[in-house]
Amino acid sequence: MWNYEKRLQYPVRIKKPDGMAAKIIITQFGGPDGELAASQRYLSQRYSMPYGDVAGLLTDIGTEELAHVEMICAIVRQLTKDLTIEQIEEAGLAPYFVDHTVGLWPQSAGGVPFSATVFQSKGDPITDLTEDLAADGTTLYEQTAFSKCRKPLILLGFCHFSRSYKPFHPATAQEQLVTKNNQNHDRTSCFQEKSH
Amino acid sequence: MTDREKALMRVQTSAFAVTEATLFLDTHPGSREALDYYHKAVNEYNDAVNIFITNFGPLEATQVKSRDNWTWTEGCMPWEGECNVEL
């Protein structure tokens, strides 16, 4: 079972709405390599994982992915909640708005609804872990594509990188995170620059 | 930064350290250094949580202190911008 902690894993505080950015970032919620898929991938695969330590790891990663779903939803929510109808049309969000208004609904940037077909759970540890590497690698790519503009996305890129490629030594994880955050990422996000 | 934001930031920072240490230990259970770090991080997290929930309300439904009011659903929701620290 799970307990809910009433806080984000990492702060999300966006000042200006930006429909264009929301339209892209929503894919990290419901897209093929998004956080929802990631959480369900790990949490589905763990049942047939024959090694206790790896099953435990899949549980812990899957749980963290649920926190990432919440962060992405917070980003999209804050980017869209104060949009005017004109801004929604301008951003190309009218087809989304007509079905969901500014509610959060898991879909890809292209409008494809979230589907379990984007991940695998085969009951074979090597097959499943290989799929995890591929999926988290893609997530990393997508998230760092936006990392110049938003710190929460840097955090997510960092998490997925450390899961897939290089386990961060805990004693240095915090420092590395701080360093990553301080790497000259302009406080004016690209979202703010783009909004009028 | 407000007192609430400072307290929240301390919870988030220490919780992240705990999460990272947990994931590391899952695959490196024999690391004495990581285990020491984990316990240090958990102590810091517990302290941070206690300060937060004493002053700013529960982070989990089992942390409601009041005998008179249901405080769990009070205050801002975590996905709202004003509920978060500005970095």
Question: Which pLDDT tens digit goes with each residue over A1-25?
Answer: 999 999 999 999 998 899 999 999 9
Rounded to the nearest 5 degrees, what angle is found at the Cα of A81, between the Cα atoms of B74 and B1?
55
**Residue A53: which of B27, B33, B38 has the nearest Cβ?**
B27
The model's confidence at residue A189, banded by pLDDT at 50, 70 and 90, is very low
Fold of A19-194: Ferritin (1.20.1260)
Question: Whole-angstrom Cα distance, residue A67 to residue B72?
Answer: 19
Break chain A into its structural domains and give their ranges: 19-194
Q: At what angle do helices B32-56 and A170-182 cross, to 10 degrees?
A: 60
**Residue B8: which of A3, A7, A169 has the nearest Cβ?**
A7
A55 interfacial to chain B (CB closer than 8 Å): no
Instruction: Answer yes or no: is pLDDT of B65 > 90.
Output: yes
Structure tokens given for A78 = 């804050």
ipTM over 0.85: yes
Q: Do A173 and B34 touch (CB under 8 A)?
A: no
| DSSP conformation class of A107 | B
Within 8 A of A74 by CB-CB distance, chain B residues are: 78-80, 84
Percentage above 70 pLDDT, chain B: 100
Question: Whole-angstrom Cα distance, residue A113 to residue A54?
Answer: 31
Question: Whole-angstrom Cα distance, residue A151 to residue A166?
Answer: 20
A7 interfacial to chain B (CB closer than 8 Å): yes
Instruction: Answer yes or no: is pLDDT of A188 > 50.
Output: no
B12 interfacial to chain A (CB closer than 8 Å): yes
Instruction: Answer yes or no: is pLDDT of A192 > 90.
Output: no
CB count in 10 Å sphere of residue B76: 13
Structure tokens given for B79 = 């996905």
Instruction: Answer yes or no: is pLDDT of A173 > 60.
Output: no
A60 interfacial to chain B (CB closer than 8 Å): yes
Mutate to test the interface with B, among A3, A4, A6 (most CBs of B within 10 A): A6
A183 interfacial to chain B (CB closer than 8 Å): no
Interface size between A and B, measured as CB pairs under 8 A: 110
Within 8 A of B41 by CB-CB distance, chain A residues are: 170
B80 interfacial to chain A (CB closer than 8 Å): yes
Structure tokens given for B49 = 């949580």
Within 8 A of B34 by CB-CB distance, chain A residues are: 169-171
Instruction: Answer yes or no: is pLDDT of A154 > 60.
Output: yes
Q: Do A64 and B19 touch (CB under 8 A)?
A: yes
Instruction: Look at residue A156 in the predicted model and tell me its pLDDT.
Output: 83
